[in-house]
Amino acid sequence: MKDRENSQQSEKSFPSGEGFRKGLLVILGGGESGVGTALLGKAKGYEVFVSDKGKIKEKYRDVLLNNEIEFEDEQHTESKILNADIVMKSPGIPDKVNLVKQIHEAGIKVVSEIEFASNYTDATLVAITGSNGKTTTATLTHHLLKQDLDVGLAGNIGDSFAKQILENNHKNYVLEVSSFQLDDIHDFKPKVAILTNITPDHLDRYDYKFENYIASKFRIVENQTKDDYFIYDADDEVIVEWLAQHQIHSKKLPFSLTKVIEEGAYLDNNKIIITIDNNQIIMPTENLALEGKHNIKNAMAASTVAHLLKIRKQTIRESLENFQGVEHRLEHVLKINKVQYINDSKATNVNATYFALESMDAPTVWIVGGVDKGNDYKELFPFVNEKVKAIICLGVDNTKLFEAFGNMVDVIIETQYMAEAVKIAYKVADAGDNVLLSPACASFDLFENYEDRGRQFKNAVRNL
């Protein structure tokens, strides 16, 4: 075994100078973040080994081979992994996996990609987390900033953060950050942290304890100082309650649809008012490209960042009005026989589907289901009673959905094929209706991921 104590001492602050021994960097997971970290690690002088229990995709295998980075897939060679000086773990791998437990027991430092990569950049980091809205908010924030600033978009979205630091070295980064990535940070410190909301999600990863998931989300602010900023939803009771019980060091910039906010953003007569250090800007919401109350909140968060980073008011306004939205998030696909087909495959939890159903303005045929993460469907009952005319359950196990909604609608059908779900919806829907794919569940029972699910939906609609 290596002299781990000395090695860990060196790794703690990840010095970027050449005068220290880098040792063995083991990367668990050969996907986007893993391969990006491997490239950055090699460039910074580490011996790198990538290990994936599954099959590494060909495009990532090619990158590893072309860069002469050692890797294995469909197995984990424990003797090599447990000889690491530092391990970068893919966010998809839970801590309860036996190998990860062994790594921790051996005293090896485990980090996420954002932790590793952020130590090799002096860029201004804007990190965005939340149960819902983080992809839209991150994409919108990047859209607002890119007109005036050199800015990358990374984290849970786009090209790997580590790879971008190696290849582009932007002066600013907008990072969409999941709770799984935050679980493996130590020194990660964004200049601006955004928390869009907190609702129960991924509880299977947090011992089915909501408080564990809440604590994970708030790790985004744990290393911030008084010179940093925390932007959050002041209408979210979970966030407000946590802040009342815990002290944070960063400057708070809340946003709200219902309260008047002195420092931060609020809504007044369909105008967003943003005030930071007595400097106020006003943004009309009539021409926002994105619809729905939740998107006004996303616009508030993104505009607050833009105002903070001195983006011109006119640029913010124009960018809010021409932003096209995110694929698989309330995406209008096609109108066929006066029926609107809407792809909201990114709704992998109940709260995301809540916003989708809330925004429906016509009778709706709802396609729902997948891997249930401990869902409580009660908050959807009023919308289902009011707006949903038929439910199509698309999952391997639909028992819970039948129990929850079986008595609420006249038509409830199950299938395990997207093409069949869309054909059933086509038969059930009448002119003026919506067909909404908003699963409220993860996708891994029948699909590769939510993108695959969304694309299959769109293809099936186009083939009607």
Residue 136 labeled ligand binder: yes
Cβ within 8 Å of residue 171, ≥6 positions away: 123, 124, 149, 150, 151
**CA atoms of 422 and 125, how far apart (whole Å):** 41
Q: How far apart are CA 415 and CA 424, in angstroms?
A: 9
Question: Quick one: which of 318, 133, 95, 120 has its CA closest to 212?
Answer: 95
Separation of alpha carbons 307 and 348, rounded Å: 31
Encoded tokens for 73: 């897939």
Closest residue by Cα to residue 173 from 139, 128, 220, 123:
123
Edge-first strand order for the sheet with 70-73 is 70-73, 47-52, 24-28, 86-89, 109-111
CA distance 279 to 435: 44
**Alpha-carbon distance 414 to 405, whole Å?**
12
> Is 130 annotated to bind ligand?
yes
> Residue 337 annotated as binding?
no
Q: From 289, 351, 428, 283, select the one nearest 130 (Cα to Cα).
A: 351
Query: What pairing do the DSSP bridges indicate for beta strands 124-129 and 192-195?
Result: parallel
Is 351 annotated to bind ligand?
no
C-alpha 212/C-alpha 409 separation (Å) is 35
Contacts for 110 with CB less than 8 Å, ≥ 6 apart: 86, 87, 88, 89, 100, 103, 104, 184
Cβ neighbours of residue 38 closer than 8 Å, sequence gap 6 or more? 25, 27, 48, 50, 64, 67, 69, 71
Tokens of 185: 């940070």
Structure tokens at 192: 């601006």
Q: Which two tokens stand for residue 178?
A: 């999941």
Annotated binding site for ATP: 130-136
Binding residues: 130-136
